[in-house]
Amino acid sequence: MVLADTGFLQVLENGVASGAIYALIALGYTLVYGIIELINFAHGDVFMWGTVATLYVLGTLHITGAVSNPWELVGLLVLLMVICMLLCAGIDVIVERVAYKPLRHAPRLAPLISAIGASFILENVALFIIGPSPISVPNIFPDKGFSGLGVSVSYLDTFIILFSVVLMVALALFISRTRLGRAMRSVAQDREAASLMGVNIDRIIVITFTLGGALAGAASVVYAMKVQSAYYFTGFEIGLKAFTAAVLGGIGNIYGAMLGGLFIGVIEAFVIQYLPAGFQWADAVVFAILALVLVFRPAGLLGQALPEKV
Amino acid sequence: MQKWYRTILYMLGIAGLTVALVACGGGSGGTSKGGRLCIATDFPVSGTDASEGIPAQNGVALAVKQNHDLGNGYTLDVINFNDVSAAVGGPDPNQGAQNVSQMLGNKCIVAMVGPFNSGVAAAEMPVAAKGKLPMISPANTNPGLTLKDYASANGFNFETLHPTGYPENYFRIPANDVTQGKVDADIAYTDLGARKVYVVDDTTPYGKGLADNFVKFFQQSGGTILGRDEITSKDTAKLPSLASTIAGTHPDAVFYGGITSGGGGLLKAQLVAHNVNVPMVGGDGIAADSAFLKDAGSAAENTYGSVAAPDLSTFTSGPQKQFVDDYKAAFGQDPGPYSANSYDAAMIEITAIKNLIKDGKDVTREAIIDALHSIQYDGVTGHISFDENGDNAGNKVFSIYAVKSGKWTFVKEVKA
């Protein structure tokens, strides 16, 4: 076994790029949990549908590789983002309407089961449409990138990191500065009091699912290009990672989800790089760290232990 | 209220009995005075590996179509099974074993051609052996399936694969992965001049076994193995990081032991995306497979692989040309890498069946197994007879392919 001399910074870059994607998906879990205390298990599969949409949009436009004209590239990205963000937001809202809303006053296990059911339905429809194996998706970014300090950052990774920072800042501003954001926070604090103050709870819940879905849609476009494939089972794998990120950061806390996503991405990259047979062990190490963190900080890295609501 | 409830129970009971009787009756297989006989196939015919499985299935279909009328009132049909499952995302050993169970229950099926993957074969062999169903694989290359000395190293229990008290029912056309591993090591070391190689396999008995043999022969030649990892179709999200690690070891070549659905093509794409522009070498799981080209895209260039079957361009004799023409006429495209092996496998079984009919014997699964042990057959791929292990005793060839200008191109033939 020869240790790879991939530089420390390069490994960090790999981790940050995949961590940014985990973080975007983790936000969808944490937003929904913050508002209605439900783990939306179908969220990962909603994300997977974004990768399938990316596959079909690029296929329809007969794009098989890098797009060299920068304007064309930007136009294509805007198109993909709009389609996938709308689609994922739409699916998330439909899942909420069909699987969660009718069960809002049911015991807490009921929506959990319907969430798993929704996840299976989304997975199996994708299985029916694209088949059981990963389907290759082209990366529309040119292969080259920026390099220096022993790190090379592909254009795609640059876009992933910058774009997710923009989305996260926008989300943070939306939640902390706007009227709707304040309404969301109030619903998260106390649903009944918020409704007495004139906040339309149903509307806030739909907005929450829309936001989560749109972030997953944005992540799905760049993810499909990064791993260059669409696979019906992706939602389970990545969904579990992102959910872990949300819990690690402190579920319900959006800054926690961002931190948790980056943390998991970076740890994974370092395990793959520096542990013998790290590729096989990466998932085990990530979940072991989750378990350890939860033993010492049960509410997650940034979570606050709240007293049980009455 | 009570009455209709009871009626339903009776009906269920009768239906259950009928199913049980039919299933029992199916156990023995074969008829003595004419009738419909069937050959079953078991290949991966959906998902990524369909590009390999369907041409193999077609080879059998062609042979059966040409011999639909067996004489003396016998007819022959083909029944196709698919061993791809959604749970695995590719060929699934459990699905294969289930398929064979179904074959055993079908009285019409007297022999089988398949499977494609060694891991599937390992799950199917015990089931088929106990049902005394003859099986010929056109593509299995793991040595542990037939040779006791190699079984445990490949994770097989030889006694399970060949249960005592049952006939040796498993035969195969291609050479095994000890030979293929050497052929692939020669490609890397001699043809490509690689001295340091990073090895990745797809965790299947085929892929892992082939990679082990590659490592053995590559090291014997004096080469260095930089590292070894295993990937599956569920690891796509981590492939970019793996490619980055491989980039840091500066290999002269990367060896991939596995099938396309295991992620070989996607790995090649990631390697090029991480500026690892060195050749990838692989076995018959990726060589001459169009799905690999699709997965790797423009990064597929500079991939080399071996197939344990002759290339079409070496088909110069009359019967060989006839086979290619017939195949094209039937399916509208060129035969795939394992079509000829499949065709020969089916033709051998058909020959055994015809001999039994000619001699006025019962066409049973057991009688076909007996006949296969002593058969001498001149096929499209050469002269075939089976040794005591069920391996092809005839000449074994490997065809070497390389991806050039986005296509798998035949490079040369190696006699093993």
Element (H, E) at A12: helix A8-36
Residue A135 is predicted with a pLDDT of 85
What residues does A69 pair with on adjacent strands? Answer: none
Predicted pLDDT of residue B32:
52
Do residues B338 and B53 make contact, with C-beta atoms less than 8 angstroms apart? Answer: no
Report residue A308's pLDDT band, with 50, 70 and 90 as the boundaries.
Answer: very low
**Chain B from 77 to 116: CB within 8 A of any A CB:** 84-86, 88-90
pLDDT of res. A310: 40
Other CB atoms within 10 A of residue B69 CB: 10
Are A268 and B238 within 8 A, CB to CB? yes
From chain B residues 156-195, the ones with a CB under 8 A of any chain A CB are none
- Per-residue pLDDT, B23: 46
Contacts of A282 in chain B (CB under 8 A): 238, 241
Q: How confident is the model at residue B28 (pLDDT cuts 50, 70, 90)?
A: very low
For residue B151, what are its two tokens?
Answer: 């079984």
Identify the top-confidence range among A117-131, A231-245, A287-301, B188-202. B188-202
How far, in Å, are A242, A270, B272 from residue A263 at the CA level?
A: 11, 11, 27
Residue B274 contacts residue A145 (beta carbons within 8 Å): no
Counting every residue written for chain B, the total comes to: 416
**Of A146-150, A155-159, B8-12, B230-234, where does the model show the most confidence?**
A155-159
Q: What is the DSSP string of A73-102?
A: HHHHHHHHHHHHHHHHHHHHHHHIIIIIGG
SS3 B408: strand
pLDDT band, very low/low/confident/very high, at B63 (cuts 50, 70, 90)? very high
The minimum CA-CA distance between B177 and chain A, rounded to whole Å, is 24
Q: What is the pTM of this model?
A: 0.79
State the first-to-last Cα distance of chain B, in angstroms, to the nearest integer. 74
pLDDT at residue B29, as a whole number: 44
Within 8 A of A241 by CB-CB distance, chain B residues are 237
Q: Is the distance from CB of A40 to CB of A271 less than 8 angstroms?
A: no
In contact, B126 and B156? CB cutoff 8 Å: no
Residue B402 pLDDT: 96
Cβ contact A122:A209 at 8 Å: no
**pLDDT band (50, 70, 90) for residue A95:** very high
Tell me the residues of chain A between 85 and 104 that have a Cβ less than 8 Å away from chain B: none
User: Which of A133, A155, A232 should we substitute to test contact with B (largest number of B Cβ atoms within 10 Å)?
Assistant: A133
Q: Please tell me the predicted confidence (pLDDT) of residue A309.
A: 43
Lowest average pLDDT, out of A83-87, A144-148, B150-154, B276-280, goes to A144-148
**What percentage of chain B reaches a pLDDT higher than 90?**
72
What's the CA gap between B385 and A130, in Å, rounded? 42
ipTM at complex level: 0.73
Task: Please name which of B338, B397, B389, B339 lies closest in space to residue B179, comparing C-alpha atoms.
Answer: B397
Contact B248 A4 (CB under 8 A): yes
Identify whether the C-beta of residue B285 lies closer than 8 Å to the C-beta of residue B202: yes
Range ranked top by mean pLDDT from A231-235, A302-306, B107-111:
B107-111
DSSP code of residue A307: P
Q: Are B60 and B343 in contact (CB under 8 A)?
A: yes
- Residue B232 confidence (pLDDT): 86
Contact (CB, 8 A) for A272 and A4: no
In the DSSP assignment, the letter for residue B318 is H
The model's pLDDT over B91-128, given as tens digits with 9 standing for 90+, comes to 999 999 999 999 999 999 999 999 999 999 999 999 99
pLDDT recorded at residue B126: 94
Predicted local confidence at residue B227, as pLDDT: 92
Distance linking the first and last C-alpha atoms of chain A: 57
What pLDDT shows up at residue A7?
Answer: 79
pLDDT one-digit tens code per residue, A254-285: 899 999 999 999 999 888 888 877 788 888 88
Cα separations (Å) of B173 from A101, B99, B113, B140, B380? 59, 21, 11, 8, 12
Q: Among residues A144, A167, A140, which one has the least CA distance to residue A71? A: A140
Say if B36 is an interface residue toward chain A (CB within 8 Å). Answer: no
The answer to whether residue A307 scores a pLDDT higher than 60 is no
Closest alpha carbon to B404 in B286, B264, B291, B300: B300
Three-class DSSP category at A139: coil
The residues in B 216-255 lying below 8 A from A, measured between CB atoms, are 224, 226-231, 233-242, 244-250
pLDDT digits (tens, 9 = 90+) for B217-258: 999 999 999 999 999 888 888 898 899 889 999 999 999 999
Mean pLDDT of A173-181: 93
Asked if pLDDT for residue B1 goes beyond 50, the answer is no
Residues 254-273 of chain A whose Cβ lies under 8 A from any Cβ of chain B? 268-269, 272-273
DSSP one-letter code for B197: E
Confidence of residue A180 (pLDDT cuts 50, 70, 90): very high
Say if strands B280-282 and A145-148 run parallel, antiparallel, or are unpaired. unpaired
Calculate mean pLDDT across residues B161-170.
92
pLDDT for residue B7 = 65
**Which of A275, A279, A280 has the highest number of chain B CBs within 10 A, making it the mutation to test binding with B?**
A279
- Confidence grade of residue B48 (pLDDT, cut at 50, 70, 90): confident
Name the strand (E) or helix (H) holding B84: strand B84-85
The pLDDT tens digits of the residues spanning A16-66 come to 999 999 999 999 999 999 888 888 999 999 999 999 999 999 999 988 888
B234: which chain A residues are within 8 Å (Cβ-Cβ)? 233, 237
pLDDT of residue B3: 61
- Average pLDDT of chain A to the nearest whole number: 89
B81: which strand partners?
A: B42
Query: Residue A57 and residue A79: Cα distance in Å, rounded?
Result: 9
pLDDT for B366 equals 94
Average pLDDT over residues B314-336: 93
Rounded to whole angstroms, how far apart are CA atoms B350 and B357? 10
Which residues lie closer than 8 Å to A125 by C-beta, 6 or more apart?
none
| pLDDT the model gives residue B223 | 95
- Residue B242 has its nearest CB partner, among A11, A127, A272, at A272
**B211: burial class by Cβ within 10 Å (0-12, 13-18, 19+)?**
buried
Predicted local confidence at residue B14, as pLDDT? 61
- How far, in Å, CA of B209 to CA of B145, rounded? 11
pLDDT of residue B356: 94
Q: Which of A6, A131, A269 sits opposite B248 (nearest CB)?
A: A6
With vertex at residue B266, the alpha carbon angle to CA A163 and CA B294, rounded to the nearest 5 degrees, is: 105
- In chain B, the percentage of residues whose pLDDT exceeds 70 is 92
State yes or no: cis peptide before B115, omega within 30 of 0. yes
